[in-house]
């Protein structure tokens, strides 16, 4: 069974084709990669030949006495003359391709010609230098490996390239006038090398195709998720907005009924209706805020003094806070400036102070500390209430978090408040952290970039 799966996977890796809907895009992609590979290889090959030519000038007596030097000297000049053509044309073709963004048959032909040129150059140079076909096989193998790794070819292109390389190699063997035995041995080795080239080339084709397909599928999934999120936010915003009118009508009716002479039971029912309307209105506000914060557009901010801003919020809470907790504000520096969207950040502070009150007794003190550390402004909201269980902390900022729980006076939670807080702070290029110990209290710590 393991052998079966191994053979199946091997067969798939060489015969698998990229799906039709990706094929044109993949061809455009790998054509550019092939052209870039040609540019790199041609530059390196030209540099190597120039270095060899410089060595002739530095060590003339040692090198010019080498066997077959005139032939090698001649072929070196040919390489120096021909290779710049590939260097220059590769730059021109790449520039043209980047404007058109479309693969042409001419591009494939160009890569094919360069590949054949590079392999033939390696074989011919080694053959001239050693006069031994068996030694030429080393430089035969090197360009084959380089080409199979750096360039991508379709199946038919690979087969044509193999036939062309074999034809060049055979021609050079015949030109060398070697014995029939050496000819047969060299051809057998050539066939083995070309078979390895075929397998390597097909493997890298499939590997790169699979990688490219995964990238495209991930991109498509991301687009689908983004479109679904946008649609969800539109529906969420529309539904939440449309719920406000009937909710206002129910609340108005309850208030009108309250003005009439009613019995105790009816009054209690009206109070329940009004309380439910307040709760529903809070949920709707949270839903709308969550939908708005999912919009990734840059929010408008202004430079403000956080000391003044936070103090005003605390003063407002002291006036309207029915729980009568003792709110204390401390700051180690005055003023501390930061870029803030006043409306959204007011909501952040309201939410954190509200939570602190919700989980604290009336006699508990709630501290709001404003600190400047280097180029950071830090706001801490600290309570001495019931704290947060350890297993809830990792989920505290999740949307519709399972960490949502009623306050100590029965206040309900939508599970959206802290997720909205985190969204707003992150859109201010800040972060929020929490530390808590059960029955000892919690501290929420906001870090924002401070203005100098």
Q: Per-block average pLDDT, block size 10, for the chain (452 residues)?
A: 39 56 80 89 91 80 60 82 92 85 80 88 71 61 83 87 87 76 81 88 85 84 79 68 73 78 78 75 69 65 89 83 74 85 86 86 84 89 86 79 61 71 87 88 90 78
Last residue within a domain, chosen from 293, 322, 338: 293
In a domain, 230, yes or no: no
CA distance 415 to 348: 15
Q: Are residues 33 and 63 in the same domain?
A: yes
pLDDT on residue 146: 84
User: Is residue 223 within 8 Å of 32, Cβ to Cβ?
Assistant: no
Q: Are residues 247 and 350 in the same domain?
A: no
Q: Are residues 406 and 430 in the same domain?
A: yes
Q: Are residues 306 and 287 in the same domain?
A: no
pLDDT on residue 374: 84
How many domains is the chain built from?
A: 3
Q: Are residues 316 and 354 in the same domain?
A: yes
Last residue within a domain, chosen from 194, 224, 254: 224
In a domain, 254, yes or no: yes
Q: Are residues 61 and 194 in the same domain?
A: yes
CA 293, chain centre distance (Å): 21
Bridge-partner residues for 381, per DSSP? 368, 444
Q: Are residues 38 and 154 in the same domain?
A: yes
In a domain, 229, yes or no: no
CA 84 to each of CA 35, 94, 110, 220, 309: distance values in angstroms, whole numbers, following the listed order:
15, 15, 14, 41, 67
Q: Are residues 278 and 322 in the same domain?
A: no
CATH classification at residue 388: 3.30.565.10
Where would I find the beta strands (DSSP E) of 332-392?
337-340, 365-373, 376-382
Domain range holding 274?
235-293
Q: Are residues 311 and 279 in the same domain?
A: no
Q: Are residues 84 and 122 in the same domain?
A: yes
Q: Roughly what angle, to the nearest 10 degrees, separates helices 264-293 and 417-427?
A: 30
Q: Are residues 278 and 306 in the same domain?
A: no
CA distance 124 to 156: 26
If one counts every other C-beta atom within 10 angstroms of the C-beta of residue 324, the result is 10
CA distance 421 to 418: 5
pLDDT on residue 190: 82
In a domain, 189, yes or no: yes
Predicted TM-score (pTM) of this structure: 0.52
pLDDT on residue 174: 79
Residues 6+ apart with CB under 8 A from 253: none
Last residue within a domain, chosen from 163, 195, 224: 224
Q: Are residues 34 and 139 in the same domain?
A: yes
Residue pointed to by tokens 């600190």: 371
In a domain, 329, yes or no: yes
pLDDT on residue 197: 87
Q: What share of the chain is helix, strand, coil (3-state, %, to 5)?
A: 70, 10, 20
């Amino acid at each position: 069974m393991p052998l079966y799966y191994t053979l199946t996977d091997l067969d798939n890796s060489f015969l698998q084709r990229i799906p039709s809907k990706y094929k044109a895009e993949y061809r455009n992609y790998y054509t550019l990669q092939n052209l870039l590979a040609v540019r790199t290889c041609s530059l390196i090959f030209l540099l190597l030949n120039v270095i060899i030519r410089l060595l002739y000038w530095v060590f003339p007596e040692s090198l010019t006495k080498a066997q077959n030097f005139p032939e090698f000297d001649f072929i070196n000049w040919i390489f120096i003359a021909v290779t710049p053509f590939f260097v220059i044309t590769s730059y021109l073709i790449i520039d043209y391709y980047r404007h058109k963004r479309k693969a042409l048959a001419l591009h494939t032909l160009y890569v094919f010609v360069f590949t054949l040129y590079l392999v033939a150059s390696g074989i011919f140079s080694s053959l001239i230098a050693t006069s031994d076909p068996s030694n030429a096989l080393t430089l035969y193998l090197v360009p084959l490996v380089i080409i199979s790794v750096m360039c991508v070819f379709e199946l038919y292109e690979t087969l044509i390239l193999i036939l062309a390389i074999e034809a060049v190699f055979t021609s050079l063997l015949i030109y060398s006038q070697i014995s029939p035995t050496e000819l047969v041995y060299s051809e057998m080795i050539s066939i083995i090398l070309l078979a390895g080239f075929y397998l390597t080339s097909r493997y890298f084709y499939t590997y790169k195709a699979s990688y490219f397909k995964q990238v495209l599928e991930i991109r498509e999934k991301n687009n689908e998720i983004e479109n679904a999120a946008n649609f969800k936010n539109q529906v969420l915003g529309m539904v939440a907005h449309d719920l406000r009118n009937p909710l206002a009508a129910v609340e108005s009716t309850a208030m009108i009924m309250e003005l009439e002479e009613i019995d105790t039971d009816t009054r209690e029912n009206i109070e329940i209706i009004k309380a439910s309307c307040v709760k529903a209105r809070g949920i709707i506000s949270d839903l709308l805020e969550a939908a708005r914060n999912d919009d990734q557009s840059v929010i408008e901010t202004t430079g403000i003094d956080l000391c003044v801003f936070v103090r005003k919020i605390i003063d407002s809470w002291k006036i309207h806070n029915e729980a009568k907790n003792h709110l204390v504000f401390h700051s180690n520096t005055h003023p501390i400036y930061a870029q803030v969207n006043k409306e959204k950040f007011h909501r952040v502070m309201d939410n954190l102070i509200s939570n602190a009150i919700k989980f604290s007794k009336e006699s508990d003190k709630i501290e709001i500390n404003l600190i400047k550390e280097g180029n950071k402004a830090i706001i801490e909201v600290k309570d001495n209430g019931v704290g947060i269980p350890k297993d809830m902390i990792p989920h505290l900022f999740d949307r519709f978090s399972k960490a949502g729980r009623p306050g100590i006076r029965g206040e309900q939670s939508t599970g959206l408040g802290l997720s909205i807080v985190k969204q707003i702070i992150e859109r201010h290029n800040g972060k929020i952290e929490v530390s808590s110990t059960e029955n000892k209290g919690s501290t929420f710590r906001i870090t924002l970039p401070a203005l100098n």
